[in-house]
Amino acid sequence: MSVAAIQMRNVTKVFSDPKRGRELLTIDNISLTVERNDFFCLLGPSGCGKSTLLNIIAGFEKTTSGEVLVEGVRVEKPGSDRGMVFQQPTLMPWLTVWENVAFHLRLKGIRKSERRARAQEYIDLVGLQGFENHHPSELSGGMNQRVGIARALLMNPSVILMDEPFAALDAQTKLEMQEELVSIWERHRCTVVFVTHSVEEALFLGNKIAVMTARPGRIRELLSFDLPRPRDITCLPFNDVKRQVLALIREEASRRIAA
Amino acid sequence: MSLAIDTAKAAARRPWFPRLGLQAERLVVPALLLAGWEVFARTGYLPPALLPAPSVVVRAWLDWMFAIDESTQSYAGRWASDALASAFRVLSGFAIAGALGVSLGVAIGWWRLAEKTLEPTLQILRPIPPVSWIPLAIIWFGIANRPAIFLVFLATFFPVLMNTIHGVKTVDRNLIRAGAMMGATERQLLHYIVVPAALPSIFAGLRIAIGVAWMVTVTAEMVAVKSGLGYTLWDSYYFLRYDIVLAAMASIGLLGFLSDLLLKTVMGIVLRWQRTTTVQGREA
């Protein structure tokens, strides 16, 4: 029997704001299935609830109603079966690169020599050789984000959740990181859920793209995108789909203004 | 052209300036103060018994240390044992306060229940001056070291506690999330994330506390003990030996300075990771 990597069933999230005495419907009845080895992009404007949805999968937020299953198991709390790469690298500033990458193993009580060896494998994978003993404050934003990716991969999770991990990087580093992420995903064969507000990023990375509406967040359209990799973001088929998605977003925006 | 000469001068100066120059800078203010005091004392404006000159204080201090001329009579040669007695009380009180202040601080900062149940009581105890505990300290702990240690503990506990609570409460929530994502239990979160992240604040508290600990030595040794720098200070005051009083004050200041220096060094090693991100790092 094959279970989907992630199943969301009628997920709804209402944030209550007791100070202002009102409730905010952030996610409105989303049902989605992410298959194993999907590179699944959640694309939507700021404030559409895409990060909230990711936090629900991660177990940081609870659903108001509905449920999320990861590998068939209901999500109740955060756990190492779901590796998260945060928008900010969120590394322990007092640990070195390798200690950050191997943090999960330290929690499991694995001895140092083995931790060090396992960390090296993933440090090599993200191309950080030579920086094993640096502290995060000594590295650039892009390098820190690589540490965050290595840290998530080392746990060998069922899914990797990425919350706009490249949003704070400069354009050139971002491009480089996107290419590398795709190559890691191809070699490593893992399931990725990637949140982004950039159409181009979603189309460059994903083989499934869920276009979300502005708040309350719903799925406007679910696209499959099978353009061969490495993808040329200037080629005709890429631009065709990009035009199509942009039209969707524009339509959505005008509908909101009219409403 | 003058610019070129200045640069050349600066280059010539560079090898010795940073080390020796900086050390000399540290001594300028104390040297000026001592010189001014010496001159003022020698004018005879105040009776020498009431304001002894630094040279007189140093002679008394040396006799207190090494019994060179027995000018300090019964105190002669007792400095080391007095300093040791005081240091023992200060460090014992400080160690107990450190251990208890950090653990209670972490508990109060982390668990709402601990905050609600413990904090009000502690906040009421906090403003009570340590000296006002003396009567109770004596009936509870009798005489000798224990009441003195208790007073040092009382004075040092709260700075450690307050700073630890602050440190825990201001830990980046995303680090906790990252820990939970990697499967940390609550105990592991506290051990591997909350406490290390709160360490800069904890050290700030410990440094305030070590200073305060020496501040209360006189109070703590005024009653109940017959040794120590604070005791000697208060005892010699009865005989109007102001030279010894001042030597005792200077001894406390010096030992306080040295213990803070030690703590600062430990902090520098433990918080090495902060060096590249803080103003402090510029010194290195």
Residues 97-116 of A with CB under 8 A from B: 103-104, 106-108
Q: Which of A17-26, B13-22, B33-42, B117-126 has the lowest mean pLDDT?
A: B13-22
- Are A151 and B276 in contact (CB < 8 Å)? no
Q: Does B276 touch chain A (CB under 8 A)?
A: yes
Nearest to B174 among A88, A94, A95 (CB): A88
Residue B265, pLDDT above cutoff 50 = yes
Q: What is the β-pairing status of strands A6-17 and A65-70?
A: antiparallel
Q: Which residues contact B193 (CB under 8 A, 6 or more apart)?
A: A92, B171, B175, B176, B179, B184
Residue of A171, A82, A187 lying closest to A127 (CA atoms):
A187
A vs B, Cβ pairs < 8 A, gives 69
C-alpha dihedral over A78, A131, A89, A141, to 10 degrees? -170
Q: Which residues of A touch B277 (CB under 8 A)?
A: 93, 137
Q: Which two tokens stand for residue A152?
A: 């998530």
Which pLDDT tens digit goes with each residue over B168-212? 999 999 999 999 999 999 999 999 999 999 999 999 999 999 999
Q: Is the dihedral of CA A95, A96, A97, A102 positive or negative?
A: negative
Nearest to A84 among B181, B192, B274 (CB): B181
Residue B2, pLDDT above cutoff 50 = no
Which pLDDT tens digit goes with each residue over A183-237? 999 988 899 999 999 999 999 999 999 999 887 888 998 999 999 888 988 899 9
Q: Which residues of A touch B185 (CB under 8 A)?
A: 107
- For tokens 């009000």, the residue is B120
Q: Would you give the DSSP letter of residue A217?
A: B
Q: Does A257 touch chain B (CB under 8 A)?
A: no
Ramachandran assignment for A45, one of left (phi > 0), alpha (psi -120 to 50 degrees), beta (any other): beta
Residue B8, pLDDT above cutoff 90 = no
Amino acid at B235: D
Which pLDDT tens digit goes with each residue over B15-67? 544 455 567 888 899 999 999 999 999 898 888 878 899 999 999 999 999 98
Section A170-188 average pLDDT: 91
Q: Does B197 touch chain A (CB under 8 A)?
A: yes
Q: Does B15 touch chain A (CB under 8 A)?
A: no
Nearest to B181 among A82, A94, A106 (CB): A82
Nearest to A135 among B180, B184, B273 (CB): B273
Q: Specify the pLDDT at position B1.
A: 41
Residue A66, pLDDT above cutoff 90 = yes
d(CA A221, CA A25): 20
Could you give the domains of chain B? 2-45 (no CATH), 74-283 (1.10.3720.10)
What residue of A is the nearest CA neighbor of B272? A94
- Are A137 and B277 in contact (CB < 8 Å)? yes
Residues 114-173 of B with CB under 8 A from A: 172
Q: Which residues contact B111 (CB under 8 A, 6 or more apart)?
A: none
- Are A155 and B182 in contact (CB < 8 Å)? yes
Instruction: Output the DSSP codes for B166-183.
Output: HHHHTS-HHHHHHHHHTT
Residue of B218, B213, B238 lying closest to B230 (CA atoms):
B218
- Are A90 and B180 in contact (CB < 8 Å)? no
- ipTM of the complex as predicted: 0.89
The CA distance from A155 to the nearest CA of chain B, in Å, is: 8
What residue of A is the nearest CA neighbor of B180? A78
Amino acid at B40: F
Residue A17, pLDDT above cutoff 90 = no
Q: Does B193 touch chain A (CB under 8 A)?
A: yes
- Are A86 and B178 in contact (CB < 8 Å)? yes
Q: Which residues of B touch A103 (CB under 8 A)?
A: 179, 182, 192
- Interface probe for A, chosen from B172, B182, B187, B189 (most Cβ of A below 10 Å), is B182
